């Protein structure tokens, strides 16, 4: 991999890490869309880490000219999958992407531009839902306020980070819930994290299938509990069960 140095005028290289669990319906589009939106698609390193899907996610990914891994024993969380992918990556910048999230045009250039500021250690993108109902617009607005006040981002915002800093903070904490804001807290101790105002588009399937109000209040309760220092991992079994029920839809 030659990196993005010639096209983007920088020596930074980007590795895109996609954790998957029963994403056969999404993985093909996710990879093709990723390449279509990049300024230098032939210079992206794309890594798929599958958590032993029961559909043909892995087989489909293997036909997409990306690096595919399905570690044994089975990874028990998204945090473990992302950390595993980071260890395989060659790039100097790690980008963590959900299979149902779409990147904006020239996202690679946007990331590189932000990281020209040496004080910046990472960041994330603004988030918008692909489908917009009244309830989803409210949730999107509340998220807009939340991540500006606290600068703690979530996985559906496509978090990116300099690889050396990611290694310094030991990657994502090995937890089932809230690994993304926990990483952001660690990163803020190392430097500046930046919100790119251009939005990624993420699927609202969690909300639509679980009930917009019901899912929002559960998420809000977990987030508030975490903010006040309470143990939120006790909610992980139910959260994982719900995700497994929705996986692949």
Q: How far apart are CA 172 and CA 74, in angstroms?
A: 17
Instruction: Dump pLDDT digits (tens) for 2-26.
Output: 333 334 445 689 999 999 999 999 9
Q: Are 122 and 151 in contact (CB under 8 A)?
A: no
Give the lowest-confidence range in 40-49, 56-65, 109-118, 211-220.
Answer: 211-220
Residue 29, pLDDT > 90, answer yes
Average predicted confidence (pLDDT) for the chain? 89
Listing DSSP states for 12-57 in one string gives: --EEEEEEESS-TTTHHHHHHHHHHH-SSGGG-EEEEEE---SSSH
Q: Are 21 and 51 in contact (CB under 8 A)?
A: yes
Q: Are 175 and 77 in contact (CB under 8 A)?
A: yes
For residues 146-167, average pLDDT: 94
Domains along the chain with CATH numbers: 5-132+146-204 (3.90.550.10)
Instruction: Dump pLDDT digits (tens) for 176-225.
Output: 889 999 999 999 999 999 999 999 999 999 899 889 998 898 888 888 88
């Amino acid at each position: 991999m030659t990196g993005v140095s010639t096209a983007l005028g920088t020596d930074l290289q980007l590795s895109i890490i996609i954790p998957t669990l029963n994403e056969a319906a999404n993985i093909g589009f996710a990879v093709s869309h990723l390449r279509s939106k990049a300024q230098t698609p032939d210079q992206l390193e794309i890594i798929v880490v599958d958590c032993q899907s029961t559909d043909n996610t892995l087989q489909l990914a293997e036909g997409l000219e990306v690096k595919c891994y399905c570690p044994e024993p089975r990874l028990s969380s998204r945090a473990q999958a992302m950390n595993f992918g980071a260890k395989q990556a060659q790039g100097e910048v790690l980008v963590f992407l959900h299979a149902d999230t779409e990147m904006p045009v020239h996202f690679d250039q946007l990331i590189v531009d932000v990281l020209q500021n040496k004080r910046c250690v990472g960041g994330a993108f603004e988030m918008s839902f692909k489908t917009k109902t009244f309830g989803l617009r409210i949730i999107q607005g509340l998220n807009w306020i939340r991540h500006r006040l606290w600068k703690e981002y979530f996985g559906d915002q496509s978090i990116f980070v300099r690889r050396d800093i990611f290694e310094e903070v030991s990657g994502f904490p090995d937890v089932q819930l809230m690994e993304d804001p926990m990483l952001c807290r660690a990163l803020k101790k190392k430097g500046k994290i930046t919100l790119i105002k251009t939005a990624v588009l993420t699927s609202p399937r969690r909300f639509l299938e679980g009930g917009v109000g019901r899912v929002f209040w559960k998420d809000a309760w977990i987030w508030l509990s975490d903010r006040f220092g309470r143990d939120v991992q006790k909610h992980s079994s139910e959260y994982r069960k719900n995700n497994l029920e929705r996986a692949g839809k």
